[in-house]
Amino acid sequence: MSNPALASPVVHSAAAAEYTSVVAARTPILVLTCLAVLLGWLPRLRWGFWTDETATYWMSSGGWRAAIEHTWNWPGQSILYSILESFFVVHGPWQEVALRVPTFVAVAIAGWQVKRLAELLIAKEAGWYALVPFVCAPDVMSFATNARPYGLALAASLISFRYLLEWQREGGKGNAALCLLASILTVHLHYVFGFILLIQAAYLLSSRWCGTRVRWSLPATVSAAIPLSLLLILGSLRNTAQQKVDFQSTPPEIKQWFQLVFPPTLLLALALGAALALLLVPMRKLKWSPVRIPSPVACLLAAWLLVAPTLFFVVSRFTANTIFASRYLLFTLPAIVLIIAWAVCGIGTLRARTICMLAIFAANVLHPATLLSAFRESPLSWREPLGLLAQKPSSAPVFVTSGFAHAEFGNWKTEDPKNSPLFAPLAAYPIANPVIPLPYQFFPDVERFIEEKTAKLSAQPIVFLLTESDSGLTPWMTRHMESRGYRAHPESVNDFVIVEFSRH
């Protein structure tokens, strides 16, 4: 019998060349990845909580038992995520950073899973070229530093897919166990992200159709285990299904579909990198020889990229369910990242590939608007307006509008805003003032409620209003309070306005 090591020198030479190319690409990629995290991710960890993050804080701040109770009736929220976050709740100047640590770590893990998927589906070298587009993507920079479950669900979904592929190729109880666990976690961290399991199934079916051997025991086990695991939270699922929505956002436009599916800054940056490569690299060395990928992988990337956004767009466009949003479709982002990695991997020289990676980094992280915004306070942060109110006279009552547009407000008049989830910002950033709750929407019943309340507050020398800057409540209440002898002193803070009504 011939020795394979002696019989295939060409194969070994090709493998050695590939290994050398991978090693050469690794250093600049790691440098750009670390810089992206340093400049694009870390500064955002200090931002104040936006509305949905304050809900995370409210649900988790009482410990893990209270987290279950608080989350059970909150529509669409992950009980598992609230339990996890309960171990990261601290009070004080580091509370934002601490609460965001799980997501930060999870998205970093997700980046590594994208690298591994690129290696499994495209080529060994493609793995490194997937890292920079992923960590520099605007949605990734945002959701990696967000105390919400989307980053964790993304990581779980990618781990599930990675180990499904590993198991299909190599078998092994470890691969099967990790795939099963990650698949269950995906659904429990965010129900919508379970859609990626359908994409995985479609990939397996297309592979089988093309003649590739596919083993079905693990996918069948996953399909049975997920519904069984959901029995643990059946009551919460029932409560979510029964929730009614009072507020509907504007139906999405087709341009939003294109922007979500084909992120402009990533693709324009890739085009810019290609143009720079044409200027800086001799033409004779610039050859694009795309890696040949199997038909099932091509179908997978197309389905992963297009199916969920198109379906969610149609549902949001023609029904009352507004599910077309980047946070719900974050699990589709790796598809365009893998396509970019495939395109870059086919460029003939390391220098040109590095230029493309540098262009993606510069356009998404070093762009002046992006860089300056990362080091400023978030315009959506509640910390600054509530911090300013905390410095005002504590005896003055404050009218506060809820930041939650999707909840039922049938009992908003009797809500205790300092303990209500609809006024969760007050849990994260408490104030001593008496608080009078108002709903997100402004309608005639709100006018009558304010008129009744202000009639009882006629002896108060100062009354405050905290609401969003574009709310129609501000001009109406200004006119109303001026008719009662108050003078309005508005002060804009982030995307909010604080109006101090004081006696002449």
Q: Which two tokens stand for residue 159?
A: 């781990």
- When comparing pLDDT for 219 and 243, which is higher? 219
pLDDT at 498: 97
pLDDT at 321: 79
The answer to whether the beta carbons of residues 206 and 295 sit under 8 Å apart is: yes
pLDDT at 11: 40
Q: What is the arithmetic mean of pLDDT over 6-16? A: 45
State how far the alpha carbon of 334 is from the alpha carbons of 21, 115, 261, 366, in Å.
23, 10, 11, 22
The answer to whether the beta carbons of residues 190 and 153 sit under 8 Å apart is: yes
Beta bridge partners of 502: 462, 487
Structure-derived torsion over alpha carbons of residues 163, 166, 168, 174, reported in degrees to the nearest 10:
-70
How, if at all, do strands 462-468 and 398-401 pair?
parallel
pLDDT at 74: 78
Beta bridge partners of 437: 400
The answer to whether the beta carbons of residues 166 and 118 sit under 8 Å apart is: no
Q: Does position 10 have pLDDT exceeding 60, yes or no?
A: no
The answer to whether the beta carbons of residues 319 and 252 sit under 8 Å apart is: no
pLDDT at 19: 54
Per-residue H/E/C for 201-224: HHHHHHHHHCCCCCCCHHHHHHHH
Least confident segment among 91-100, 151-160, 238-247, 423-432: 238-247
pLDDT in tens, 14-54: 455 555 556 677 899 999 999 999 999 999 999 999 999 99
pLDDT at 225: 95
State how far the alpha carbon of 82 is from the alpha carbons of 62, 144, 170, in Å.
10, 17, 35
Q: Does position 444 have pLDDT exceeding 50, yes or no?
A: yes
The answer to whether the beta carbons of residues 488 and 481 sit under 8 Å apart is: yes
Q: Does position 398 have pLDDT exceeding 60, yes or no?
A: yes
Average pLDDT over the chain, rounded to an integer? 90
User: Quick one: pLDDT band at residue 475, thresholds 50, 70, 90?
Assistant: very high
pLDDT at 239: 73
Q: Does position 5 have pLDDT exceeding 80, yes or no?
A: no
Residue 490 CA to residue 241 CA, distance in Å, equals 41
The single-letter DSSP state of residue 320 is S
pLDDT at 348: 82
User: Quick one: pLDDT band at residue 418, thresholds 50, 70, 90?
Assistant: confident
User: Quick one: pLDDT band at residue 234, thresholds 50, 70, 90?
Assistant: confident
If phi over 0 gives left and psi between -120 and 50 gives alpha, with beta otherwise, what is residue 388? Answer: alpha
Residue 493 CA to residue 504 CA, distance in Å, equals 24
pLDDT at 249: 65
pLDDT at 242: 65
Residue 422 CA to residue 410 CA, distance in Å, equals 12
CB atoms within 10 A of CB 8: 13
Q: Does position 253 have pLDDT exceeding 90, yes or no?
A: yes
Beta bridge partners of 493: 496
Identify the burial level of 357 via C-beta atoms within 10 angstroms of its C-beta, where 0-12 means exposed, 13-18 middle and 19 or more buried.
buried
CB-based contacts of 294, cutoff 8 Å, min separation 6: 210, 212
pLDDT in tens, 286-324: 788 889 999 999 999 999 999 999 999 999 998 877 889
Phi and psi torsions of 91, nearest 5°: -115, 135
pLDDT at 236: 78
Q: Which two tokens stand for residue 481?
A: 């309070």
Residue 269 CA to residue 417 CA, distance in Å, equals 46
pLDDT at 12: 46
pLDDT > 90 fraction of the chain, expressed in percent and rounded: 74
